[in-house]
Amino acid sequence: MTEADRFATGVDGISGQWPSPPNAWSFSSLQEAESCPRRWALRRATYIGVWDRSGYPPKPSTPALVGDVMHRTFETLVTAFANAGCHALASECAVDVLRSLGGYSAVIERSIEQTLGQYEGNPRAVDRLESLRADLKNRVPEMRTRIQDVVARTTRATTPDPIPPITGGATGPISKRQPLSVGSHPEVELRAPEFRLAGRADLIRVKGDGCAIVDYKTGAPSPLHIDQIRMYAVLWAYDADLNPRQLPATELSLVYTDSTVQVEPPTLAETAELAAALRDRTETVESQVAVDLPMARPGVDLCGWCSVRHLCSEYWPFLEALPAGSRQELSPAPFGDCAVLIVARHGPKSWDIDVTSHGRNGLLRTPSDSTVFRPGDRLRILDAVLSDAEEDNRAIVSLTQTSEWWLLDPTN
């Protein structure tokens, strides 16, 4: 990375350095870079002075955190069951493992702490960690029910025959890359260096003549999940370290919290075709992100979920040009984003503003009187509550605990 990679964001005090393409693309990073190269680059750029880690700090949201906690809990349980050689939830072995872990709720509580631990030092999360913790703890009973159901179906769906004790080769989480032995292997990192691709399968069960790949999903079913697990089948086929005998993937299972979807594994010919297509995709994407300014592809289906939209120069003109009726496709009402110009102080916790992105006058309400602006300040505001004043139809922009705002660079 050089000085030439530096870029301005328009936000006061925040500049970044573009990232280099990764050594290996994961399914999600490839998919993200294809849908919007700018988002891929903004999320992974280095921002000196924002925090001491690489990438832009992610903004936590309760639904995403619940998904992370549940996935982490599945990992813990499946790893423990596999390491102990358990083949059914009803087995004495599984009961012993669960007891040693302290039971489902204890595993979930530890997953909550591990998940929130990733947000320590994150400037976008620091004020909300305690309320997020309380929110997650309130959901432990619901998560426990869903996890129990998934674990029960996983053990039924993927281990129809007892797994023999493992006597050689790699078992459990892979620390060294070596051929996988017959048995269950949680958290397997698959690599295909010739295609610059990698992926982490939740569970691989190797049999004598092939393997079953299992992936846990905490969200709603999506066609992308099918593409992802088929990519894992390709990685398995080309991973010479873990699969030197080139055993085929004979069973692909997507385990959701309320159902299991069996995906047709690719044939040998389809595997080669998929591999060639993936190689083309990585080459295309690398040419799109390794430029001075990666292309932005604003759209209502993408930008509302983009955690770095306040840094994106293309998003704000896009928002301004959107018809008022389409803005709700970006964020569910009453929440929304806006760009504003501070005109004057209106009251202890309110400011007269021009909502420049919406072409209206308005009033900005802040939660406390310690938030102070100067006339002429320009702000980008995310996730405010937007409404209309009844008396004069001015725009009312209310900042809440989950809203964020940034001052724009006055020299731009």
Q: Which residues bind ligand SF4 (CB under 6 A)?
A: 36, 38-39, 42, 296-298, 302-303, 306, 308-309, 312, 314-315
Instruction: State which residue, 231 or 319, has the beta carbon closest to ligand SF4.
Output: 319
Smallest separation, CB 306 to ligand SF4 (Å): 3
Strands across the sheet with 249-255, in order?
A: 183-192, 197-206, 211-216, 249-255, 260-263
Tokens 């320590």 label which residue? 120
190 strand-pairing partners = 199
Q: Pairing relation of β-strands 395-398 and 360-365?
A: parallel
DSSP class of residue 4 equals G
223 strand-pairing partners = none
Instruction: State which residue, 93 or 302, has the beta carbon closest to ligand SF4.
Output: 302
- Decide if 65 contacts 132 (C-beta within 8 A): yes
Instruction: State which residue, 192 or 308, has the beta carbon closest to ligand SF4.
Output: 308
337 is written with which tokens? 């984003």
Smallest separation, CB 77 to ligand SF4 (Å): 35
Instruction: State which residue, 174 or 308, has the beta carbon closest to ligand SF4.
Output: 308
Smallest separation, CB 383 to ligand SF4 (Å): 14
Smallest separation, CB 377 to ligand SF4 (Å): 22
Smallest separation, CB 379 to ligand SF4 (Å): 17
DSSP class of residue 290 equals S
Instruction: State which residue, 284 or 371, has the beta carbon closest to ligand SF4.
Output: 284
Smallest separation, CB 319 to ligand SF4 (Å): 9
| C-alpha span between 219 and 198 (Å, rounded) | 22
Instruction: State which residue, 109 or 409, has the beta carbon closest to ligand SF4.
Output: 409
DSSP states of 69-115 as a string? HHHHHHHHHHHHHHHHT---TTSHHHHHHHHHHT-HHHHHHHHHHHH
